[in-house]
Amino acid sequence: MPAWSGTSAPWAARPTPNIGRAARRRGGYEASFTVPQISDLDVPGPMPPMAVLVPGAQLSAPSADGVLSHNGRTYLELVTRETVLAVRDPATGEFRERAPHQLAATGAPLQRVAGTSTWTRSGAATPVPQAISVPVTVRGRLDPVWDLQRYDVSQARGVPPLPMPGMHDFVVEGQRYYVDMRFVLKAYKSQHSHIMQRDANGRLRNQGSVAEDGIFRLGMAPLTYLPIGGVTSRVEVDTVRNKWRLYGNGVEPIYLDTGGHLSSWVPELRLREIGDIIADARRVLGYTGVSSDMSQGLMSTMDKHTYRYMQQYARQLIVFDTRAIREASVRDRDRLIDEHIWRHGYPYDRLRQAISAQADGRALPVGIAQFDPLQGMATVSAREGGSFNLQIVSRHDQLHYPRRQRSDAHQRLFEQWSALSIQATAARGKANELMYQQMLVDDGYQILSGGTYGGGQYGFDLVFTGPTGAVYLLEVKHSPPGNPDRLSPVSMAMRGGYWQMEDRWVEAVLAHSEVARSQAGVAVRQALSNQRLFKLIGATTSNGTQYLFKIDMSPVR
């Protein structure tokens, strides 16, 4: 089985003043009532693509040393049929790969294959080149233009404001409701999530609640609503497909997926019109015998893996092709991707190019980033107190790293970990780290050395880079044993007045000279200063299941 087998971000955790004004004009939420919604500030459409891997037809003939050139840049052709941007390492004189958006080379050293004009990555086995197939057809936008105003069921016009101290108010179907002013989705607390309504005597009565996924449930039945794009919409679960649908007035329902955070929602991929992409995605994942219709009924496990692969790759391509998102901080990126999807639809042509090349074993075309599931995955927000709801993470594929079989080396490490007593805390912790390290290496990530101090007892668990040069910081945890039917939360520890994985904790670790001078420390410091550091948790359950997910620590303050 291939290494990949395998969802959600609130739109505005920190709403802009424009959002607040728009919400108040509609009798809706105050700016500080952080429910998911789309920013009023537009996100530019796709920028011209950057070259990542280029076809040889655009390059000069190779020199005697096998070097190609184009627009003043140097490229090398690999035995894998990839043509990569390369620069000489000033320290060693070796050619190394360089991502176009980076100033320095970060890739592996490249070595000339004797007697040929091709090159190979250091230590890489020489694969058999694959045949090049016909380029894909460009079709343009497939998604409809979604007008969320047509899905507004608030009926707020003419409903008089009735402010209540300590409460935020909003209107649903002509009725005014209230929620505790302390309620914030990103730091979810169920005791603050009750939805109240005034009775005839002016007293507040409980009428429902806000779920952690951002869905409002009102009444005894209950009826379900979603604040989205500055409007309040009716949502229901399609029991045949087990998906939420957004309903409006005389318009087609919109099937929803989890976006970049748990409480954020985006439209579903246009499944009925991308059969060719689905077929190629199945080939990439090894599901060549599957031909089910994803748009009908419940998805099989293989269909879910295929869908998630397409969704995550599409989100990654949006980042890479859209400068405003590519240059945004890690904290804002998921929200901007979600906004982009609502405004511009999914990049199906780019996705078709990427996946067909992967399926055929061809070099990726101009401007197509190599797939990295961590770039398209959702981000999980910490609750106050630095904990993460692992039960919710486990239920949403978009919230955790794709499932796949263990390699032989990974399986051996798993067996060694399993044999250790739960009381052997230090040994089990180290074995757990080794399992994650092996999993990442198997999937093509590069582990960076160093990052610890005090004889390796303190500091960063793992620092690694992805195929597009993204820097990741991973904290490895064990999920405490608990109810056999429910996973226990995992929590960050408090170190020196800061929660683990907070920026200030990261800076405190980097203050140690052993860390600062290491390969891992240098990469983390640069990524943190550029607001490009992706933080992750690896949580291992008592049966050895590993959940790897991206995190946002900002709600702890």
Q: Domain with 455 in it: what CATH number?
A: 3.40.1350.10
Through-space distance between the first and last CA atoms of the chain, rounded to whole angstroms: 43
Please state the domain count of the chain: 3
Copy the structure tokens of residue 60: 């000069």
How many angstroms separate the CA atoms of 479 and 517, rounded?
32
Q: Are residues 349 and 404 in the same domain?
A: no
Q: Residue 539: what pLDDT? A: 97
- Tell me the Cα Rg of the chain: 25
In which residue are the tokens 């990524």 written?
A: 527
| End-of-domain residue from the set 303, 326, 361 | 361
Same domain, 393 and 480: yes
Residues 183 and 243 in one domain: yes
Query: Token match 């390969």: residue?
Result: 519
* Residues 177/218, Cβ–Cβ less than 8 Å: yes
In a domain, 42, yes or no: no
Q: Which two tokens stand for residue 73?
A: 């840049």
Q: Kindly state whether residues 194 and 297 are assigned to the same domain.
A: no
374 and 471 in contact (C-beta within 8 Å)? no
Residues 457 and 520 in one domain: yes
**41: exposed, middle or buried (Cβ count in 10 Å: 0-12, 13-18, 19+):** exposed
User: Measuring CA to CA, how many Å separate 388 from each of 68, 135, 256, 298, 553?
Assistant: 49, 44, 24, 28, 10
480 plus 520 within the same structural domain: yes
Tokens 């609502």 sit at which residue? Answer: 342
- C-alpha 484/C-alpha 466 separation (Å) is 35
pLDDT number for residue 434: 97
Whether residues 170 and 198 share a domain: the answer is yes
Q: Is residue 108 part of a domain?
A: no
Domain endpoint, select from 221, 251, 281? 251
Do 344 and 484 reside in the same domain of the chain? no
Domain termination residue (choose one: 192, 219, 251): 251
CB 459 within 8 A of CB 434: no
- State whether 392 and 473 are in the same domain: yes
Beta-sheet pairing, 95-97 with 471-478: unpaired
From CA 334, how far away is CA 376, in angstroms rounded?
Answer: 9
Q: Are residues 315 and 445 in the same domain?
A: no
The pLDDT of residue 137: 54
What pLDDT is stored for residue 15 in this prediction?
Answer: 30
Sole residue written with tokens 């979604």? 146
> What pTM, to 2 d.p., does this model score?
0.76
pLDDT of residue 260: 95
Question: DSSP alpha helices (H): ranges in 361-512?
Answer: 373-376, 390-395, 408-419, 425-442, 503-510
Extract the residue ranges of the chain whose pLDDT is less than 70.
1-59, 71-72, 81, 91, 99-107, 122-138
How much is the pLDDT for 483?
75
Asked whether 385 and 205 are in contact (CB, 8 A), the reply is: no
243 and 328 housed in the same domain: no
202 to 158, 164, 165, 198: CA distances (angstroms): 19, 10, 13, 5
Does 127 reside within a domain? no
Q: Exposed (0-12), middle (13-18) or buried (19+): which is 351, by Cβ within 10 Å?
A: buried
Q: Give a yes or no: residue 263 inside a domain.
A: no
DSSP labels, 169-236: EEEETTEEEEEETT--GGG--GGG-EEEEE-TTS-EEEEEEE-TTS-EEETTTTEEEEEETTEEEEEE
Same domain, 22 and 153: yes
- Asked whether residue 100 is assigned to any structural domain, the reply reads no
Is the residue at 441 inside a domain? yes
Asked whether residue 66 is domain-assigned, the answer is no
- Residue 284 belongs to domain spanning: 271-361
**Is 124 part of a structural domain of the chain?**
no
The residue type of 41 is: L
Neighbouring C-beta atoms of residue 114, cutoff 10 Å: 5
